[in-house]
Amino acid sequence: MSEAIISIDQVSFKYPGGDDWVLQDSSLSVNKGEFLAIIGGNGSGKSTLCKTINGLIPHYYTGDFNGSVHVDGIDMYSSAVAVLSQKVGYVYQDFENQLMRPTVLEDVAFAPLNFGDPDFQQHAEWALEILGLTHLKDKSIWQLSGGQKHLTAIAGVLALNPDILIIDEPVAQLDPHHAKEIYQKLKVLQQHHGKTIIVIEHHTEFIADFCTDVTLIDQGKVLWKHDVKTGLQKVDDLLERQIFPPQVTQAALKIDHSNKSELPITLKEAVTYYEGLSITNPTSVEHKSDQHERLHEIVHLENVSHYAKSLRNETVTILNDIHLSIKEKERIALVGTNGAGKSTLMKCLAGIIKPSKGKGRISEYNLKNSSLEKLSQDVAYVFQNPEEMFIEDSIYKDLSFFAHSRNMEMEPFFQQLITAFRMENFIHNDGRLLSGGQQRRSSLAIGLAIQPSLLMLDEPTASLDVKSRQEMIRTLNQIDEQVKSVLIATHDMQLVAEWATRVIVMDQGKILFDGTPHELFAQEFICQQAGLIPPQMVQLSNQLNIHPVALSISEFVERIERIDSYGVS
Amino acid sequence: MELVNRFKKTYNLEWVKLELLKTAFGKKDSYMGRKDPRLVMVWYFIVSLLPWFTFNQTILIGLLVYTIVTSLVSRVSPLIIGLLTIGVISEIIYIVALVYLFGGEWAAFSSLITFTMKITIMSIASIAAFASMDPEKLSDALLSFGVPAQFSFAVSYGYRMLPILLDEYQQIILSFRLRGKAPTNGGVLKWRTIYYYSKIVVKAFYPMMLNTAKKTRTTVEALEVKGFSYSLHDKEAKKQKLSHLKLSNQDYTFLVMSIGILLAIYFLGKYYPI
Amino acid sequence: MNQLSREEYSQSQKMMIFILAMSLFGLANLFTELLPEFVLGPVEISVSYLAFIPLSLVMLFHPLYAAVGASVGEIIFGDLLLGDFGGLGELEGFIEFTLAMYIAGLLVTNLRSKKQVGIAAIVGIGIDQMLSTIVDVGKVWVGIEEVEAVPGLPESILAIEGLSFVTEMIISGVIFGLIPTLYLIPRLYGKIEPLLGIKPREGRVKASMTEWMSVRFVILAIFLTFMGMVAEFMAEMDINFAVWEPEFLEQFGDGFIWLPISAAAIVFIVAVFTAIKWLGASSNQDKKGKSA
């Protein structure tokens, strides 16, 4: 009953000068109105495949191309990118660079205007309306939050009213809250406006919740395409390529090996699945060791407030009366929505910003009258974008920059870091030419090379694929020996659950909560107020009334007693 | 010391950024800003070229007054005009001093004044015309005069990228500062500090160049998808882009008034030359 | 049905180079606009531009697009966005700077040769400064009724322009031009090009004699005009050219303004013409290099 809107037939592609075929005899057919997720490991050819749909390959990226692609009956090879663009909208992973005009409305109207559409204004406003951006239309792009920017980028291609929308990793750069919002909007486009949506996605939990179909790509080949329910249950296929099924699916798999065919893939399914199972609550709750009290205090802030001038010369309170003490051996996660004051707090600790009010101390330095250069010997600050950490032309030079500028001899320590972070293979390369995971590890090492008391990381797992992300969490679990305390600002609740010993929740410049992850996730109203979406395991625990909540899959599995042979229907 | 303090102030990047954003994104609603940008450009060309065809000081004074009044009406900040005045006066003083030094005579002073007036009229005219004009409007005017579309795209792209580029540059400079070591002893005239920061400013462009190159690639690809290269060859697209440029009544009033004033100045000069 | 036609610089690559040069030099210009100026008598000591950025880019990429991009960036970021658009003055700067950078880019044939890079950097800045001196002097000439009627004026102008030429060459040319360019080129060469999907400029581009001649011709022409101007002014200090000068003025009258402008225009047209010729040849050349 539904017809194929895209048919890719035996497509192979090789970049000019490249040795390998990025795509190899790939065939894929997409029906009208589908919400398709494309999954596959890094470098499997996902983006390349998508770019054949709007003709960027081979018209823009020339190379060796074989096979045929038809979009809504149009032969891609014999049409221009400009023609195909009106059928296929493409939103990039680094969508920031896709926004080219100063204000929202202008950017959204840009494409229809370029095609000489006399009603470009109406079409732009229509796209804004659908995505709920109308109230932002006169704002400057740079004033928007990440989520709003992403929606604007989608509106920008939607304004041409294409039948197909391709979105490359919609949530990689967003916090879970905004990510969900994006997916909800995409769902509306699919269900109510008849659009065909294709996403390239690593997060299987979103796929389970929103997509209708899923296709797996590996080494330039389309392995299979199934409906989501079937696809996500092919756990072995996924795990082999380092793609992790939703947490609830993984947990179910660990509990019951025999009954694979009916694994739950969404939270809702999981609740029914686990209902009626007996739950063991741990007999003793972990007790805090009093040893904690005797540890040396690294950071001490009292009544710290910070104000800034906005463009309209209004004074905005960014930090509001912060009290904070950080001791040795702490793993702190700093969470909260964008604009909650997380980065300002970190900048204060790094000495980049002098707080307007209050006093503080970091190691032996007084916050008020110690220069940035002094504080930076004790506090390392690793930026969110690793490329801003690479100031030299090789990782090794970046690593030794601090020691070099102070004539310090730290060679043995560097070698230790290089081994610990598995950087041997690229230590003399330029940081910008590395993969995402390598970049993060390197920037972490650069921070540690200062031998700080406090290491601060800004979003160390953002925009990493699932495999690199797991690797990053593992690395973070190793660094306790090299640094006294670690503070991480993050949206990644899984990281919070699996790594942190203490969580600080910020909201509107204030500290809303300060305690352990268990305590935080048990209090749903705090999570709601601060816009946090707990990991699936935590949500499931809460729904099943498991207390204290399980933070990880293994913790959850321990609580559920083995299912007897009668199991689940 | 003054130099060093200014230098420090300049390198408080947060401050610089805010100032720049204020200037670039401030609302530009003023007398000249409301006019059709094409008309303003034509006005500018005429007013700034006229002085070069005459040596009549009455006409020059008239034009000078006219441009100053226009710039005041279009609410150019008095600071800009003040700075320009100081610049002009100091320039005159230097020239006079030098002429005197080389043995010139005071009698020849007037021809120098003439010259300075011409330069000044040109500067003030450009301030009056463009300081209060929205860059986007200006680029539309240029587009309608046949300047390649790449230029007008570049204007709005620059507008869009300015905050991003500044942020990134600031972060990179921070990286240098966080891991580097500023000289503790500045030396004579703080030259070591100046040298240290100058080196950072230059070196920061190495990562900046590579990072920007990476971004540029996506941007140009997205441009292709959004039909920019298509619009370069499409007359309809250009027409649509410029469809909002229309001469209104206030533009006609402005046109008639300008012609009247210029003629008046000319006749004044003809019958009452200084 | 594979193999679409490949050109070394596709339309989009030209656009990338343009945008890259524009963004970077634009940003740099924001800073130089804000840097304090140190005024010492009639001469101001200031960093007028961070020339190493366009210099590196014209050497690494296609010189024309990088040069135009840089000049556009200067106008947009340094002037337009700050509400400081200078109208005709911008046009003058645009032509001078684009031409100067373009020539600097053409001069380099081997990016590994420090000598070549250094010479090109200095020549590039030199051309820009000479052109702006020529135009400045031209303005005085046109703007003052009879230059030689003001005793001491030619000397003064020469002194002021000369001094500013020298300081510019030292600050913008050497400190912020030559030295950083020599630092950057080896680091960027072969690394930045692949990021744009462009093949690094390779080895020695074999330009034919005629193209070389025309580049040299432009440089020579600018240099000669510059020297001519200086000589002219030197001469006016002692000798009076009254014999022919009034005639000259009469002939051209007040429209004399068009002399420097049209001179600049001619130079520019020659440059563009050269560019087109060069482009045609170099793309052939690149194709050859590529298939190898």
pLDDT tens digits for range A26-66: 999 999 999 999 998 777 888 889 999 988 888 888 788 99
Contact yes or no for B158/C73 (Cβ under 8 A): yes
Chain A residue numbers touching C12 (CB-CB < 8 A)? 60
Q: Model ipTM?
A: 0.84
Report the C-alpha gap between A213 and A28 in whole angstroms: 12
A77·C6 Cβ contact <8 A: no
**pLDDT at residue C238 above 50?**
no
Exposed, middle or buried: residue A15 (CB in 10 Å: 0-12, 13-18, 19+)?
middle
Residue C271 has pLDDT above 60, yes or no: no
Residues of B in contact with C164 (CB under 8 A): none
**Which of B18, B160, B214 is facing A100, going by the closest CB pair?**
B160
* pLDDT of the residue at A165: 95
For residues C204-221, average pLDDT: 56
| Residue B12 pLDDT class (50, 70, 90 cuts) | low
Nearest CA to B248 out of B36, B38, B74, B42 is that of B36
Give the pLDDT confidence score for residue C46 in this predicted structure. 75
Kindly determine whether residue A142 and residue B159, on different chains, have CB atoms separated by under 8 Å. no
What are the Cα distances from residue A315, in Å, to A311, A318, A368, C107? 9, 9, 21, 53
Contact criterion met (CB below 8 Å) for A445 and A423: yes
**pLDDT exceeds cutoff 90 at B186:** no
Q: Which CATH class is domain A296-515?
A: alpha beta
Of the pLDDT bands very low, low, confident and very high (cuts 50, 70, 90), residue A461 is confident
> pLDDT-based confidence at B16, cuts 50/70/90?
low
Inform me whether the pLDDT recorded for A118 exceeds 60.
yes
> For residue A138, how many other CB atoms are within 10 A of its CB?
9
Q: Which residue of A17, A60, A433 is in closest CB contact with C12?
A: A60
Answer whether A432 touches C (CB < 8 Å): yes
Q: If you average pLDDT over residues B2-10, what whole number do you get?
A: 46
**Please, are residues C209 and C87 in contact by the beta-carbon 8 Å criterion?**
no
Q: Of C4, C5, C191, which is closest to A430 when you measure between CB atoms?
A: C191
**Helix, strand, coil abundance in chain C, percent, nearest 5:** 75, 0, 20
pLDDT at position A139: 85
Dump pLDDT digits (tens) for B32-58. 778 888 898 889 888 888 888 787 888
Closest listed residue to residue A347, CA positions, set A325, A326, A318, A369: A318
Rank A14-28, A150-164, C274-288 by mean pLDDT and report only the highest: A150-164
End-to-end CA distance of chain A: 32
Residues of B in contact with C24 (CB under 8 A): 205, 208-209, 212
pLDDT at C216: 65
pLDDT at A476 over 50: yes
Q: What is the DSSP letter of A275?
A: T
Average pLDDT over residues B72-94: 73
The pLDDT value recorded for residue A208 is 94
Does residue C2 lie in a domain region? no
Residue type, A532: L
Whole-angstrom Cα distance, residue B221 to residue A60? 8
Burial class (CB in 10 A: 0-12, 13-18, 19+), A545: exposed
Amino acid, res. A214: V
Which one of A58, A66, A433 has the shortest CB-CB distance to C4? A58
Q: Where are the domains of chain A?
A: 4-242, 296-515
Question: pLDDT tier at A258 (50, 70, 90 boundaries)?
Answer: low
Average pLDDT over residues C246-261: 40
Distance (Å, whole) CA A115 – CA A27: 31
Q: Sorting pLDDT into bands at 50, 70 and 90, what band is A309?
A: confident
Contact A295, A328 (CB under 8 A): yes
User: Looking at residue A183, what is its pLDDT?
Assistant: 94
Cα angle B183-B188-B192, degrees, rounded to a multiple of 5:
30
Partners of residue A117 in chain B, C-beta under 8 Å: 240
∠ CA A161-A137-A82, rounded to 5°: 30
Which is more confidently placed, A473 or A164? A164
Q: Which of A100-104, B24-28, C248-252 holds the top average pLDDT? A: A100-104
Do residues C150 and C144 lie in contact, with contact meaning Cβ atoms separated by under 8 Å?
A: yes
Domain ranges of chain B: 1-29+135-243, 31-133+247-271
Residue whose token pair is 């150019």: B76
Buried/exposed B250-269: b ≥16 CB within 10 Å, e otherwise: ebeebbeebeebbeebbeeb
Strands A64-71 and A74-75: antiparallel
Residue C208, pLDDT above cutoff 80: no
Residues 6+ apart with CB under 8 A from A309: A315, A316, B18
Question: B20 in contact with A at a CB cutoff of 8 Å?
Answer: no
Query: Would you identify the CATH topology of the domain A4-242?
Result: Rossmann fold (3.40.50)
Dist. CA B73–CA B124, nearest whole Å: 13
Given this model, what pLDDT does residue C15 score? 87
Give the residue among A280, A201, A279, A213 at the shortest CA–CA distance from A244. Answer: A201
Instruction: Give Rg (Cα) of chain B.
Output: 24
Mean pLDDT computed over A246-250: 90
- Is the bond preceding B51 in cis, omega lying within 30 degrees of 0? no
| Residues A329, A332: Cα–Cα separation, whole Å | 10
How many other C-beta atoms lie within 10 A of the C-beta of residue A489?
22
State both tokens at C112: 């590994």
- What band does A8 get if pLDDT is binned at 50, 70 and 90? very high
Specify the pLDDT at position B3: 46
Q: Which residue has the higher pLDDT, B10 or C17?
A: C17
pLDDT surpasses 60 at C121: yes
What confidence tier does A231 reach under pLDDT thresholds 50, 70, 90? very high
Q: Which of B166, B217, B229 to mutate: most C Cβ within 10 Å?
A: B217
Q: Residue C257: what pLDDT?
A: 40
At A173, the pLDDT band (50, 70, 90 cuts) reads confident
- Asked if residue C6 is part of any domain, the answer here is no
Query: Is the pLDDT at C248 greater than 70, yes or no?
Result: no
pLDDT at C280: 44
Q: Is residue A85 within 8 Å of A54, Cβ to Cβ? A: yes
End-to-end CA distance of chain C: 23
Instruction: Print burial letters for B197-211: b (CB count within 10 Å at least 16), e (below 16).
Output: bbebbbbbbbbbbbb
Q: How far is CA C102 from CA A149, C98, C132, in A?
A: 38, 6, 16
List CB contacts (< 8 A) between C191 and chain A: 393, 430, 433
Q: For the residues C82-89, what does the mean pLDDT come to?
A: 74
pLDDT for B14 equals 64
A448 three-state secondary structure: helix
Q: Which of A560-564, B98-102, B112-116, B223-227 has the lowest mean pLDDT?
A: A560-564
Question: What is the H or E stretch that residue A475 is in?
Answer: helix A466-478
The residue of chain C nearest to residue B53, with distances taken between CA atoms, is C254
Q: Of A354, A348, A103, which is closest to residue B15 (Cα–Cα)?
A: A354
More confident residue, A311 or B151: B151
What integer pLDDT is reported at residue A280 of this predicted model? 67
pLDDT in tens, A268-282: 888 888 876 666 665
Please give the single-letter amino acid code of residue A549.
V
Give the B window 169-208 contacts with A, CB below 8 Å. 171-172, 174-182, 203-204, 206-207
User: What pLDDT is attached to residue C125?
Assistant: 93
Three-state secondary structure readout of B138-202: HHHHHHHCCCCHHHHHHHHHHHHHHHHHHHHHHHHHHHHHHHCCCCCCCCHHHHHHHHHHHHHHH
The helix (run of H) or strand (run of E) holding residue A223 is strand A221-227
In whole angstroms, what is the distance from residue B131 CA to residue B128 CA?
A: 6
If you count them, how many residues does chain A have? 569
CA distances from A178 to A161, A174, C284 (A): 24, 6, 51
> By mean pLDDT, which of A481-495, B5-19, B231-245, C216-230 is the weakest?
B5-19
Per-residue pLDDT for C149 more than 70? Answer: no
Q: Please answer whether residues B114 and C76 qualify as being in contact, where contact means their C-beta atoms are separated by less than 8 angstroms.
A: no
- Is pTM beyond 0.90 here? no
Q: Are A208 and A264 in contact (CB under 8 A)?
A: no
Return d(Cα A538, Cα A550) in angstroms, integer: 6
Cα distance from B30 to chain A (closest Cα, Å)? Answer: 18
CA distances from C5 to A54, C14, C287 (A): 19, 16, 11
pLDDT band at B203 (very low <50, low <70, confident <90, very high): very high
Greatest mean pLDDT among A347-356, C35-44, C154-163 lies in A347-356
| Average pLDDT across chain A, whole number | 86
Domain count, chain C: 1
For the stretch A522-541, pLDDT in tens is: 888 888 888 888 889 999 88
Q: What are phi and psi of A198, to 5 degrees?
A: -125, 125
Of the ranges A91-105, A412-426, B181-195, which one carries the lowest mean pLDDT score?
B181-195
| CB < 8 Å to A66, chain C | 1-2
pLDDT digits (tens, 9 = 90+) for C105-117: 888 888 888 999 9
Can you tell me the mean pLDDT for B100-126? Answer: 75
pLDDT at A207 over 90: yes
Report the phi/psi class of residue A65: left, alpha or beta, with left for phi > 0 and alpha for psi in -120 to 50: beta
Q: Are A155 and A99 in contact (CB under 8 A)?
A: no
Is residue C276 pLDDT above 60, yes or no? no
Segment A377-395 shows an average pLDDT of 90
Which pLDDT value is given to residue B205? 94
Coil, strand or helix at A2: coil
E strand or H helix that includes residue A298: strand A297-309
Q: What element of type H or E holds A360?
A: strand A357-362
Beta-bridge mates of residue A517: none
pLDDT at B34: 81
Instruction: Say yes or no to pLDDT of A167 above 90.
Output: yes
> In chain A, what percentage of residues exceed pLDDT 90?
35
Q: Residue B95 is encoded by which pair of tokens?
A: 């020239």
Sheet order of strands, A315-327 included: A315-327, A297-309, A357-362, A365-366
d(CA A528, CA A537): 17
